[in-house]
A = this chain, B = another copy of it.
Amino acid sequence: MIGIFDSGVGGMTVARAIEQRCPGYPLVYFGDIARTPYGSKSSETIKKYSASNTDFLLEHRAKLIVIACNSAASAALPTLQKQYKVPILDVITPAVKRAAIISKNGRIGIIGTRATIKSGIYEQGINQERPGTRVISHPCPLLVPLVEEGWLGKQETKMIVRRYLHPLRTRQIDTLVLGCTHYPLLKHLIGPRIGRRVQLIDSSIEAARSVRSFLDTHPDLASQLHDPEKESRFFVSDLTETAHQLAAKIFGRPITLKKANA
C-alpha cells in the first residue's frame, strides 16, 4: 500500500490526486482528526505525532509514505527520513521545485498555516533550487477551520481570503504556492483575488506527480505496490460528521472512514 498521513481530512486532496495519477495502487490513509490542527502546534509536538502516524501506516503494510500535510512536512520530514527505512515523500519538496521552475520574474508568494510559514521551509527550499529568488510568505490560519466548516462560498470566507492575500498583492509576485492541502478547496476564491497573472501551485497535485515519478523510477517497489484488486482504506483518529462530508466532497463519492488510534 501507499501510506498517506495528514493532520485531518485536508490530505485527502493529496490522496485523491494520487488515486487519479496512479490508478491500481491501493492507498492507506490516516487522518489525525483527534489531534487536528497541527498548524498551530509547536514543531516538537508535530514531530511526535508524525512518528506515531508513520508507525500506524507501517503496521498497515505501507511501503512508501507520503506526508500529506504541510505543517507535518515542514516540522518532521528530515527527522522521519532518518528514523525510518521506507522511502518518505512529502507535499513541500515537489511544490518548491515547481515554483522555482515556473516563476518568470523570480518573485514567489507562499500561503500556509502558521507552523508552515514560521518554519521558513519554502523560502529555504526555493532559494536552494534557485538562489536569489524573492519569496514573500503569509500565514492564513483561519482558512483551515473555514474549509472544515464547509464555508467554501460564503461572503465572510471571501473577505478573509482577500484580507490574507492583500499583503501579497502589492509585491508583484507571478507565482503563488498553496502551501496547505486544504487550500485547493478555496482555489476558486484565491485565483480571482490574487489576480489572473499569478500562477497557482497546488501542493496536492505536485505531491501526486512526485509519487507517479517515484513509482516510474522504482519499478521493483512499484510492482510490489501495484494491486488493482485491493481497495484503498481510510482511517481517522476521530469520526466526525464534517469529516464524512468533506471526504465525499473531495472524492466526489462517499468514502468509508474507520476509526483508529495512531
Contact = CB atoms under 8 A, between A and B. Distances in A.
A42 B145 contact: no
A36 B39 CA distance: 11
Contacts of A240: 40-42
Interface residues on A, range: 20 to 34
A244 interface: no
A163 B154 CA distance: 11
Interface string A151-168: 100011001100100000
A242 interface: yes
Contacts of A145: 141-142, 145
A240 B159 CA distance: 26
A123 interface: no
B40 A242 contact: yes
B163 A156 contact: yes
A62 interface: no
A148 B238 CA distance: 22
A159 B45 CA distance: 34
A142 B149 CA distance: 8
A260 interface: no
A35 interface: yes
A181 to B, nearest CB: 18
A255 interface: no
A82 to B, nearest CB: 23
A4 B34 CA distance: 22
A146 interface: yes
A152 to B, nearest CB: 13
A45 B151 CA distance: 25
A18 interface: no
A33 interface: yes
Interface string A178-191: 00000000000000
A261 to B, nearest CB: 9
A262 interface: no
A88 interface: no
Interface in A11-51: 33-36, 40-42, 45
B42 A238 contact: yes
Contact of A35 (B35, B146, B151, B239): B35
A51 to B, nearest CB: 15
B146 A155 contact: no
Interface string A223-246: 000000000000001111010000
Interface of A: 33-36, 40-42, 45, 141-142, 145-146, 148-149, 151, 155-156, 159-160, 163, 237-240, 242
